Structure 1
Amino acid sequence: MISNEINSYIESLIPKREEALSKIESYAKEHNVPIMELVGIETMLQLLRLFQPQAILEIGTAIGYSAIRMAKTLPNSRIITIEREQERYEKALENIQNEKLDKQIKVLFGDALELEEQVKELAPFDCIFIDAAKGQYSRFFQLYSQYLSQNGVVFSDNVLFRGLVAKDNLEEKRYQGIVSKLKQYNSELMTNEEYDTLILPIGDGIAISRKR
């Protein structure tokens, strides 16, 4: 992963976001809501500009920050996003409506592992963005990758998990389960013959899996 100094330097070069986005960023920081790190999301948005997906499925809405960023970057796309926590779901709806993006972004409430039937009706998707419960990444991928269009791409955030996946002997016991599952997930991605995958050591680690 890039050093804190390099990361801070890159962040300093990124143009300031509009006030509404800055307020969401501040809210997330104040209320400990996990949103994608700045360099990470700017990297993903640049890749989305290149891929130009028309339909995106996001697993893990949180308060709508990344969905809003994607919608603003790709104004002709439609975004389906899933959130299971009531308070975050309601805040996401508020943020999306404030940005007048509710016609472009549809938020589904519930556990992504239980909403396949609803999502299936809205498929196919040119891009899937996984950024929810880290221990469930493999299940999310297995469940929803079948609804990815030909040459579609899957972005998975946090796959390096603070660099802990690179450690052989993890002292932080509370993270052992998550790290073990992320290691398994990363291995599954890299050996999946139906996808070409690259893991970028940016932000908290982003895996980019392009369907062959």
Structure 2
Amino acid sequence: MDEMLNNYLVKHLPKKEDWVNEIESQAKVDHVPIMDPVGINFLMQLIRLNKPDNILEIGTAIGYSALRMNEANPDARITTIERDEIRYGQAVENVKNQQKENMIEIIHGDALEELTKLVDEKRKYNCIFIDAAKGQYKKFFELSLPLLKENGIVISDNVLFRGYVLEPNFEHKRYKKMVEKIKEYNEWLVNHPGFITTILPIGDGIAISYKK
């Protein structure tokens, strides 16, 4: 997104509470990637509009997006999965500090395994938010399908990955495979027969998939 336009949008976002600024500062100090201001506010607006009563998040990090989704809909019960032990501990602490333990359940484990357990438990969610290992997005989506209620939505973050998906011959050694995976995921997603998907150039790219 054009920097001037992004600055304009950020300037016109709703005022944040102090605890939000504190967690954002924590993420910056610890180099933890969280959603950018425009992206997280768009996600929150989706939550406000759809009012899902059960949300599944794949990729907790330090609990920032889970807490912001709770802020958007305090009545929603959120299940969130984090593999990294340090991030999991930080998320637990942040959720505890906001006294949201009764609304936000944090699971420590590999999402590829934990999603199967949730299916076995016959859990159901109106909204699934995918924001974890980019190379596993398709697997996360497929494993999540039995968990999604009819007319539910799946939101995938980072699907434009810094705009690299636009480059036809992207050769950056560190990100080449990841970009290829995201491109494949996007193509697969928009052609999925069970969903209607829109990809929006908000933040780092957000895909919204509506279950038919």
TM-score strictly above 0.5: yes
The alignment status of 1:91 with 2:90, answered yes or no, reads yes
Which stretches of structure 1, 4 residues or longer, exceed 4 Å deviation after superposition? none
Matches within 5 A, 1:151-190: 151-190=151-190
Alignment deviations for residues 120-163 of structure 1 (CA, whole Å, 9 cap, x no partner) = 22611000000000000000001112210000000000000000
- Distance apart, 1:5 and its partner CA: 1.0
Structure 2 Cα separation of the partners of residues 74 and 100 of structure 1: 15
- Distance apart, 1:174 and its partner CA: 1.2
Matching residue's letter, 2:20: L
Structure 2 Cα separation of the partners of residues 144 and 8 of structure 1: 35
Structure 1 Cα separation of the partners of residues 182 and 171 of structure 2: 16
Structure 1 Cα separation of the partners of residues 62 and 36 of structure 2: 14
The alignment status of 1:193 with 2:193, answered yes or no, reads yes
- The number of residues matched between the two structures is 211
Paired residues of 2:27 and 2:33 also in contact (CA < 8 A): yes
- Distance apart, 1:117 and its partner CA: 4.0
Aligned to 2:128: 128
Aligned to 2:117: 118
Alignment deviations for residues 40-92 of structure 1 (CA, whole Å, 9 cap, x no partner) = 11011111111111100000000000000011111111000000000000000
Paired residues of 2:153 and 2:209 also in contact (CA < 8 A): yes
Structure 1 Cα separation of the partners of residues 76 and 117 of structure 2: 19
Structure 1 Cα separation of the partners of residues 199 and 116 of structure 2: 30
Aligned to 2:67: 68
Aligned to 2:2: 3
Aligned to 1:49: 48
For residue 88 of structure 2, give the secondary structure of its aligned residue in structure 1. helix
Structure 1 Cα separation of the partners of residues 63 and 145 of structure 2: 22
TM-score by length of 2: 0.97
- Which shows bigger deviation, 32-41 or 166-175? 166-175
- Distance apart, 1:118 and its partner CA: 3.1
Aligned to 2:203: 203
CA RMSD of superposed structures (Å):
0.9
Matching residue's letter, 2:142: Q
TM-score by length of 1: 0.97
Matching residue's letter, 1:154: V
For residue 137 of structure 2, give the secondary structure of its aligned residue in structure 1. helix
Consecutive unaligned residues in structure 1, runs of 5 or more: none
Matching residue's letter, 1:34: P
Structure 1 Cα separation of the partners of residues 39 and 86 of structure 2: 25
Return closer, same or farther for 1:190/1:117 CA change in 2, 3 Å cut-off: closer
For residue 127 of structure 1, give the secondary structure of its aligned residue in structure 2. strand
- Distance apart, 1:13 and its partner CA: 1.1
Matching residue's letter, 2:69: M
Aligned to 1:13: 12
- Distance apart, 1:98 and its partner CA: 0.4
Structure 2 Cα separation of the partners of residues 165 and 209 of structure 1: 19
